[in-house]
Amino acid sequence: MPKEVKRIIVLIVGIIFIILGLLGLVLPFLQGILFLIIGLMLLSLCIPKVRALIKKHTEKQPHLSPIVNKVEAWLTKFIGEI
């Protein structure tokens, strides 16, 4: 699959997860935080500013940094290079 098509699909799926996460913050049956985290991780693969935001916030919590790096590496392996 071409990189541009893959990038668009990842962006769309990331935005859908962000919307579900925002809905989940007000609806009791959706796990809003989980959807927001997944959406942000997907968007961080395509948007450098989101990646920088995640890195900035994980610097404040050093025990989260290896987890974020591991998830990012797994997503890159699963989705492929974007």
pLDDT digits (tens, 9 = 90+) for 6-49: 889 999 999 999 999 999 988 888 788 899 999 999 999 999 99
Q: In the chain, where are the structural domains located?
A: 3-79
Residue whose C-alpha is closest to residue 80's, from 15, 17, 7: 7
- Residues 39, 17 contacting (CB under 8 angstroms): yes
Check residue 20 and give its pLDDT: 92
Taking 80 as the threshold, does the pLDDT of residue 79 lie above it? Answer: yes
φ, ψ (nearest 5 deg) of residue 6: -60, -40
For 3, counting Cβ atoms within 10 Å of its Cβ (0-12 exposed, 13-18 middle, 19+ buried), the class is exposed
